[in-house]
Structure 1
Amino acid sequence: MPHFIVEYTDNLKEDIKVPQLLEEVHRILLSRKNVFPIGGIRSRAIELKDYRVADGTEDDAFLHATLKIAAGRSEEIKAEVCEAIFEVIKGHFEVAMNKRYLALSMELVEFSDLGTYKQNNIHSRF
């Protein structure tokens, strides 16, 4: 962990640069390697084709990001990392936000060790 997952409506295709967004988020997480093991960082983007936003009368769009982390980080670290990532997201969509109806959101999900199963040999590289 952490895993960064972004879901976005397909009407944002012209506004989202997925590789750039994921790279910027990775940069934030990689800069905190004392908090997040490098070998556990993952990100992915899911384009949504079936969705409905608000009353459905406009070409509304949304992006929702989820940061999943293992338990044990301080409240300060969690807040700082989430704020840094959300600032990247807002910056990424600043132009789009000024030209269309758009909702941006992000949530933090914290897993306990119970019920989380992992096997990873990537860590040995780092």
Structure 2
Amino acid sequence: MFELGAIRVRAMVARHYAVADLDPRNSFLHIQMRIGEGRPLGDIKEVGEHLFETASRHLAPLLSTSHFALSLEVNEINSALSWKKNAIHPRLRVVAGA
């Protein structure tokens, strides 16, 4: 569903945040998935559900506490309002033999 050259992963630390009752043991992970428009809703939901289930399994120890929250949101990028240049695609297409 996604070309390898288009995948990016970013991790951002929130230096200033508040969670619920301000208990210092509270923590959270919010996953924001941004994808280009045009994919069927069912496919997007399937990918989102798979990613959320995978994250939930990986984070099960934290989710078993009463101090952790996990969320995932999929945002579809409006192509009319997004500009990109990507020199990685051609290289990976050659490597893949595409």
Deviation at 1:88, TM superposition (A): 1.2
User: Rg bigger for which structure?
Assistant: 2
Identity %: 35
Structure richer in strand, relative to its length: 1
TM-score of the pair, normalised by structure 1: 0.69
Secondary structure in structure 1 of the residue aligned to 2:11: strand
State the TM-score, normalizing by the size of structure 2.
Answer: 0.87
Q: 2-side partners of 1:83 and 1:46: how far apart?
A: 22
In the TM superposition, what are the counterparts of 1:1-126 in structure 2 within 5 Å?
35-125=1-91, 126=93
Aligned residues: 92
- Once residues 3 and 28 of structure 2 are traced to their aligned partners in structure 1, the CA distance between those partners, rounded to angstroms, is 30
One-letter code aligned to 2:23: T
Distance 2:23 2:88 in 1: 47
- Structure 2: segments with no counterpart, 5+ residues: 94-98
Which structure has the higher relative contact order (CA within 8 Å, separation 6+)?
A: 2
